[in-house]
Amino acid sequence: MTKRGFFNFFNNKFILTILIFIVWIFLFDSNNILDRMKDLKHLRELESEKTYYKERIKTDSIKLNELKTNNENLEKFAREQYLMKKENEDIFIVIDKSK
């Protein structure tokens, strides 16, 4: 394509309008391609968090059901998490410093 043919190609008002429209859509529009890519990345992050929290809810509901149905598990949980004890007991807390 010669130099003259190149300028004639862009001198066509329809091609020039289409090029301006494409540049506008990709760069300056409120839904441009850069924002769209950021939104898709954020969506993938949110979906991975969603799966994590669904699994967490499932395990926590199983633990909660065990605590509600079994008094031994409830007592064990209270002793470990809240350092509760019976009247005639002493509690010794062992801290592992090797970690």
Q: Tell me which of 55 and 86 has the higher pLDDT.
A: 55
User: Does the model's pTM come out above 0.85?
Assistant: no
Q: Measured between alpha carbons, how far apart are the two ends of the chain, in Å?
A: 71
Q: What is the mean pLDDT of residues 58-75?
A: 90
Question: What's the CA gap between 41 and 71, in Å, rounded?
Answer: 46
Residue closest to 82 by CA, chosen among 67, 60, 65, 61 = 67
Pick the range with the lowest mean pLDDT from 3-7, 30-34, 84-88.
3-7
Task: Give the residue extent of every domain in the chain.
Answer: 1-30, 33-99
